[in-house]
A and B are shown apart, each in its own frame.
Chain A
């Protein structure tokens, strides 16, 4: 890291460069935000300008007040250029609630619990493939594939298309803002996903099946059935929200465990700690940053926010706030008070939170059952990335085979 980058980060007046590409930052962007905890919000000029909230309570208050901080201004920093809104991500109440209500039961704790068997089998199958090798590139061989198979099963899409989805999703999310237009006449990843999902929706409208998309088409909004465009938009959001995020959590968690052998040993010795370990990994690595738009001039977070100002919400400011957590930078699998907001707060709470928790729990249990000890490969160091999502692109793990 150069001294300039270090100074710019520790001086909030210079702004929050959440796209800093220096190796120290991308390896642990969560610790870097400690320098920015000044209590009040601060402004950054880059990418159209935005406020960053630095006090845990302000972060949660902002997420809970959908009237003051709207989601309809478009997702991202800068805000996504859009002709249509992503449903329900870019909707505000009361419109938002109509779609959430239609979706809630598909992703509720009880529905998700039914997926445990198939997901455990999928995870075990993936791990068994590379188990004898004594090494794996964890992201491409597991962390990218596993959530995709879960989403494919939930939506009712063909398993054979899994590899295609992994690629599209990667291409789509690793652009700086959601909704990039095509370059050089080629279809963008977003357009490819949309075309695919449109066909999937139209097929099911003609010939209903026993899957989520079919049931979604039966849902009613304001007493009328859901339109094809709405169903595609919803499926699109489930697709982009459910894949890369879980991949990122898995990447950050296994990177942490490989780097912290005593924590890994503790977890393997006492698998009952897994539930606590999952929560602690989620708390320490809130991989997604979200955004809102102020709907009026307001004194908030110690500053004067103007109508139309963009606000960046990094859940890390709550998750590591000393007002909420004792010794917040310390990893403690037995932490009893752990109401982190990695899945957000307020009406837009991550719809897939229950599925994500199950996926990460199963991944840890099935992996550790087969591979209780693993380490980083010094010849192939991890390649983390940090943007609005903070994950890992490459993570080579090694273990001893019998």
Chain B
């Protein structure tokens, strides 16, 4: 199964640190809040997705795949 980016939009506070890691995986709105809610991680971009999740000061991003444990918070 494909890994997924999951963003807790309640927690996102517009730091845009995920955007700084990878602007394509983590697009933002005009104020800096990530616009992704749930999105498949494209093949080969697992590391960038994980780095983006780990860059979030709020711990708002998780990378998950069914059958595997979540990384980040």
Contact = CB atoms under 8 A, between A and B. Distances in A.
Contacts of A105: 30-31
B32 A108 contact: yes
B56 A339 contact: yes
Contacts of B55: 339
12 contacts: A60-B58, A104-B14, A104-B32, A105-B31, A107-B32, A108-B29, A337-B54, A343-B15, A343-B57, A346-B58, A349-B14, A354-B16
Given A109-B19, A337-B54, A339-B54, A64 B11 contact: yes
B56 A109 contact: no
Given A104-B14, A345-B58, 13 more contacts: A60-B59, A101-B31, A104-B33, A105-B31, A107-B32, A108-B28, A108-B29, A108-B30, A108-B32, A109-B28, A111-B30, A339-B56, A343-B15
A110 interface: yes
A104 B31 CA distance: 4
A340 interface: yes
A340 B30 contact: no
B30 A104 contact: yes
A110 B58 contact: no
Interface string B7-44: 00001011111010000000011111100000000000
Contact of A108 (B31, B51, B58, B59): B31
Contacts of A108: 14, 16, 28-32
A37 interface: no
Interface of A: 60, 64, 100-101, 104-105, 107-111, 336-337, 339-341, 343, 345-347, 349, 353-354
Nearest to B30: A105
A349 B15 contact: yes
A320 B58 CA distance: 16
A100 B55 CA distance: 23
A354 B57 contact: no
Contacts of B29: 108
A345 B28 contact: no
Contacts of A341: 57
B71 to A, nearest CB: 13
Nearest to A275: B20
Contacts of B15: 343, 349, 353
Contact of A110 (B13, B30, B59): B30
Contacts of B57: 60, 339-341, 343, 345
B56 to A, nearest CB: 6
A107 B13 CA distance: 13
A347 B11 CA distance: 8
A346 B13 contact: yes
Nearest to B56: A339
Contacts of A104: 14, 30-33
A64 B58 contact: yes
Contacts of A345: 13, 57-58
B73 to A, nearest CB: 10
Contacts of B33: 104
Contacts of B51: 336
B14 to A, nearest CB: 6
5 closest Cβ contacts across the A-B interface? A104-B31, A105-B30, A349-B13, A339-B57, A108-B31
A107 B54 CA distance: 24
Contacts of B17: 339
A171 to B, nearest CB: 31
Nearest to B14: A349
Contacts of A60: 57-59
A362 B22 CA distance: 22
Contacts of B58: 60, 64, 345-346
